[in-house]
Each structure stands twice: as structure tokens, then as C-alpha cells.
Amino acid sequence: MRALITGAAGFVGTALVERLLHDGRCVVRAAVRNAGSKLPDGVERFDAGDFAKQINWSHGLVGVDMVIHLAARVHEMSEQASDPLSGFRRINVKTTLDLAQQSAAAGVSRFVYLSSIKVNGETTAPDRPFTPNDLAAPQDPYGISKHEAEVGLREIARTTGMQVIIIRPTLVYGKGAKGNFKSLTKHVASGLPLPLGSINNLRSFVGIGNLVDFIVTCLEHPAAANETFLVSDGEDLSTPDLIRRMAPAMNRPARLLPVPKSMLMAGAAILGKRDMAQRLCSNLQVDISKSRTLLGWNPPFSVDEGLKRAVGGN
């Protein structure tokens, strides 16, 4: 069996390639944008070039049984852009569907797509976690583009017979993670007090080890075909609890100030950080019961194990 992985040099891709090489379950071919990208020994290489342009995938798909599409535009574009959605659509929709169409034509049997929980939305009501069957409610260009790609992939699966598996992870953390998790790690490492002690929310997270294990499960499990899954660690945490669990792994104290949420949000708005504060204070829970029952999958790593792997030694 041979698998083509896009985004193989990224955060998730690096961990997935390492796992597949360790397991020896398939030949790994990495699609890279930069000809100078370094890959581990034993990994086949396909130089795809600029993902924002039309790509002929024919050479990269020779002998490939399954495609794992991780590559995406994830960083927000400049607020000055007149049409920010178009930039996300160019890579997250057009490139994804071009690859899927060419994959089906080349005889690829299974296409695994890493989407985003942002397709469901940004927040959940208390005790009302997102499920895979919820109506899509993306609220930003990234989430919209991911949803449009999902719609297109399902149509390709319907018309070609290629099996498509869609995975929507929550915030992914691990060694080398960027974005919000990296920022929070830096704040905890500084030892400075954080004004989050009064926040009473619940959020789902997924460690990189659990996400990679779930992707590997979806590669071959017959029940995964043409299904959509949500994935998390299976334990939801408040933001203060997350910090309290991170701090010991970093040999740092968890210093939390009990600032009322209203004051915190007001201060964040003044500093232009309202969106970040909203993510730290709001609920975002997911129900992974479908992943458990249909695939028999359970997260192999606990939250504490995942956090120790992610921040231990910092």
C-alpha cells in the first residue's frame, strides 16, 4: 500500500509521517511545495510546487492507494484584502478538489481530508457539544472554505466511487504547535499571572498523538468510508484547568488572577485582542461518540500525557 501525503512537512504531517514509518504499514510519498524541503529517510518525494497554482498530480499519484490531504491555508489574510475569502478558496477548495478529482481518475481508493471544527462553528452552548451531523455554520473565511471543500469532496465521492473520509479536529496541540497553543505556552512559561482565574468554560482539545492515531485508524477501517468525524482527547477542560495541567509539565506555577469575564473582554477589546479573549473564555465542545462506536477508536493518550509531550522541558 502506498499513501500520498500533502502537508507532510507541517506540524501534523511530520508526526503522521513518523508514525507511518514506525509502523511500516505503507510506503509514504510526500507532496512538498519547496524543492529544498528535507524529508526523513525512506520517504518518497513528489515536488508539487505552489499549491495556489494548477498542479498536475499524475506523477505523484502513480501507484498510490490512498491520499491524506493535510495541506491548507490556515493563517488569516490581511484585513486590508478586498476579498479575503478568495485566497482561502484558491488553496482550501480549488486545490483540494483538483487533487481529489485527479486522485479518483488515477484509481485512488480512499481520500482522507483533514478539515476543521470551524465548519461546525466557533462556540457551543453549555452541554450542547458539536456533532458530525450538525448543520454547518462556519463564520470566517477559513471555515467557509473548509466547508465548501467538504461539499465538493462528497460530490466527487458520489460520482466516482472513491471513498472520502472527512476529519474535523478541534485545536491541535503538541510539540511545535503554533497559533493559540504556542501563545498560551509562552505566557505560562513566563511565570507572569494570567487574568483567567474566573473563566468557567469547557473546551475540547486534541493532542497530536491522538489525532495521528485517529488518521491512521481511518486509513483502513472499512466503516470509515464516506463518513465525517469529529476528534478530540475525550476530556474537556476549562481554560484555567488547561493552564493548571500545563504548568506542572513545564515546571512553572499556574498563576491565575480572578478577573471578571466582563472586565477581561473589555480590556481585550481596547487592546485589539477581543477574538483571542473570546476563544479563551467561550465553550467549544465536541461529541466523539461516533468515532468511538463506529470505529471502536479511543484516544490512546490522556490529556496529561499529551501535555507532557507538548510542553515538557520548556
Among 11, 57, 113, 142, the active-site one is 142
Using CA atoms, how far apart are residues 279 and 117, in angstroms rounded to an integer? 13
Q: How far is CA 65 from the centre of its chain?
A: 23
Q: How many helices (H) and strands (E) does the chain have?
A: 11, 9
What are the chain's domains?
2-169 (3.40.50.720), 179-200+238-281 (no CATH)
Position 226, amino acid: N
H or E segment to which residue 30 belongs? strand 27-32
User: Which strand ranges, in their side-by-side order, compose the sheet holding 110-114?
Assistant: 44-47, 27-32, 2-6, 66-69, 110-114, 163-169, 228-231
Using CA atoms, how far apart are residues 298 and 205, in angstroms rounded to an integer? 14
Q: What are the backbone angles phi and psi of residue 300, rounded to the nearest 5°?
A: -75, -20
Give the residues of the chain that fall short of pLDDT 70.
Answer: 75-82, 313-314
Sort strands 228-231 and 27-32 into parallel, antiparallel or unpaired: unpaired
Our CA dihedral for 46, 146, 229, 171, rounded to 10 degrees, sits at: 90
Using CA atoms, how far apart are residues 233 and 247, in angstroms rounded to an integer? 19
Using CA atoms, how far apart are residues 36 and 297, in angstroms rounded to an integer? 37
Q: How far is CA 116 from CA 189, 233, 236, 298, in A?
A: 28, 15, 18, 20
Using CA atoms, how far apart are residues 129 and 141, in angstroms rounded to an integer? 22
Q: In the annotation, is 113 catalytic?
A: no
Asked if residue 268 lies in contact with residue 274, where contact means CB atoms within 8 angstroms, the answer is yes
